[in-house]
């Protein structure tokens, strides 16, 4: 997707210089062909299984991308009322909507009783009690899955680890068994599946082997309680470092798929980052090359308000200068926000950029624009999509009047 042709950076063969004409930076840019490739890779892993892919909308909430995924036959996983409304807005059939989250309000649950999604994932005993009370009062049935926490270390950043017993998400297997025993034959609450999601940006197969093996044994011990589907979450990592270290699909296919097959249930996935992460990039422009006795800074117009992952997680994103010629030097790449933490990289070796050059921060299709903010009264950036060799705007840049319209 990104490559240098005659020393100039191109996206899907289109020169970056051409893409940036008339488009103020910073902005997000996505490749539809890369999204399609990612879907094809997922399908190759699960070939032969009864499975259904859902897109985790929290990774990227652009309605044009969500609509495009719907048209490819991909379902959607939502974790809030806002994400639920976005699924409705683009025309999702309720049967292709999975509802998740650990803090569902009364209004949220009431809406689900009316909407009837494919499954409502229940996070706790307390949440199930709330749903039971509502369902009994309104005399409405609903299909649910219990989110179980198998106490498995996903070997990832602690902020995106969700499968350990100290996590705020899910319930232990003993609690799940107890709830199934109590509510399995309830007239309105149809417990038909289990859900687990152990974390994000996982690069090893062993945590999935451990988690699914535990759940497989749990299912076998349910005896007369027959479940029909297993929601295995997502979490597959991508190659941020560009060193070939991404989630090992072939190893997963060899070691994990046999565990899922023996469950003999429909398998539901909730992948976000793996579908859109490497299909997106943040394009910025160099404002200054600031030299001090201690460091040299590349100061860009992109900031932590556009992409917070490096500041929040100390995460790595590969950075491509517009030109790959000239002397390579070590730089700190920073933004204009009034925070020391507003930086994308420290001590990064780059071919020397110049003021006015563009840079691309790669692999920002997931948890990029969706986590942006108006801090320092920044305006959230525009988004563009490269599809069929054309660049189209799929969300405009905010303007000052728009975000201050509440002040009369």
338 classed as catalytic: yes
Strand 27-31 and strand 280-291: the pairing is: antiparallel
Q: Which of 338, 347, 390, 407 is catalytic?
A: 338
Alpha helix positions (H), 47-158 = 63-71, 81-89, 106-115, 125-138
Closest CA to 345 of 357, 329, 326, 356: 329
Q: How far is CA 181 from the centre of its chain?
A: 34
What DSSP string runs through 269-336?
A: EEESHHHHGGGEEEEEEEEEEEE-SS-EEEEES--TTT--HHHHH-----EEESB--S-EEEEEEE-S
> Which 3 state secondary structure label does DSSP give 4?
strand
CA distances from 294 to 261, 297, 328 (A): 57, 10, 17
> Which 3 state secondary structure label does DSSP give 53?
strand
Buried b (16+ CB within 10 A) or exposed e, 106-126: eeebbbbbeeebbbbbbbbee
Q: How far apart are the C-alpha atoms of 383 and 396, rounded to whole Å?
A: 7
Q: Which helix (H) or strand (E) holds 97?
A: strand 97-99
Q: How far is CA 33 from the centre of its chain?
A: 18
Do the annotations mark residue 273 as ligand-binding?
yes
State the CB neighbour count (10 A cutoff) for residue 378.
Answer: 20
Do the annotations mark residue 368 as ligand-binding?
no
Do the annotations mark residue 51 as ligand-binding?
no
| CA pseudo-torsion sign 20, 21, 26, 32 | negative
As a dihedral over the C-alpha atoms of residue 111, residue 116, residue 122, residue 126, rounded to 10 degrees, the angle is: 50
Within 8 A by CB and 6+ apart from 331, the residues are 295, 296, 297, 298, 345, 347, 348, 349, 350
Do the annotations mark residue 367 as ligand-binding?
yes
Do the annotations mark residue 356 as ligand-binding?
no
Return binding residues for pyridoxal 5'-phosphate.
235, 270-273, 367
Instruction: Give the residue numbers annotated as catalytic, written as ranges.
Output: 338
| Binding-site annotation, residues | 235, 270-273, 309, 313, 339, 367
Residues at the binding site for substrate are 273, 309, 313, 339, 367
């Amino acid at each position: 997707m990104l490559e240098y042709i005659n020393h100039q950076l191109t996206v899907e063969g289109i020169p970056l210089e051409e893409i940036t004409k008339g488009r103020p930076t910073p902005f997000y840019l996505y490749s539809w062909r890369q999204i399609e490739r990612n879907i094809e890779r997922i399908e190759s892993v699960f070939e032969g299984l009864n499975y259904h892919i859902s897109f985790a909308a929290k990774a990227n909430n652009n309605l044009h991308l969500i609509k495009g995924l719907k048209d490819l036959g991909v379902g959607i996983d939502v974790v809030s009322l806002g994400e639920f409304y976005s699924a409705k807005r683009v025309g999702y059939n309720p049967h292709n909507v999975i509802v998740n989250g650990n803090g569902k309000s009364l209004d949220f649950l009431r809406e689900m009783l009316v909407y009837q999604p494919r499954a409502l994932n229940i996070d706790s005993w307390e949440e199930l009690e709330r749903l039971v009370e509502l369902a009994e009062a309104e005399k409405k049935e609903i299909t649910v899955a219990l989110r179980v926490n198998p106490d498995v270390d996903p070997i990832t950043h602690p902020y995106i680890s969700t499968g350990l017993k100290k996590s705020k998400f899910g319930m232990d297997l003993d609690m799940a068994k107890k709830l199934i025993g109590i509510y399995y034959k309830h007239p309105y609450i149809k417990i038909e599946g289990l859900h687990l999601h152990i974390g994000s940006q996982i690069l090893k197969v062993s945590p999935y082997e451990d988690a699914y093996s535990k759940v497989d044994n749990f299912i076998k011990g349910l005896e007369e309680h027959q479940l029909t589907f297993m929601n295995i979450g997502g979490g597959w990592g991508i190659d941020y470092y560009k060193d070939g270290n991404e989630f090992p699909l072939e190893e997963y296919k060899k070691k994990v798929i046999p565990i899922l097959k023996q469950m003999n249930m429909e398998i539901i996935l909730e992948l976000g980052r793996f579908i859109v992460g490497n299909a997106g990039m943040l394009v910025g422009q160099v404002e200054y090359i600031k030299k001090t006795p201690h460091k040299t800074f590349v100061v860009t117009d992109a900031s932590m308000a556009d992409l917070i992952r490096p500041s929040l997680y100390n995460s790595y994103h590969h950075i491509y200068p517009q030109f790959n010629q000239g002397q390579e030097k070590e730089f700190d790449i920073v933004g204009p926000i009034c925070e020391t933490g507003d930086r994308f990289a420290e001590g990064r070796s780059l071919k020397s950029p110049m003021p006015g050059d563009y840079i691309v921060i790669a692999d920002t299709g997931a948890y990029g624009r969706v986590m942006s903010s108006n801090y320092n009264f920044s305006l959230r950036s525009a988004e563009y999509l490269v599809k069929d060799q054309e660049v189209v705007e799929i969300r405009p840049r905010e303007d000052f009047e728009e975000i201050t319209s509440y002040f009369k």
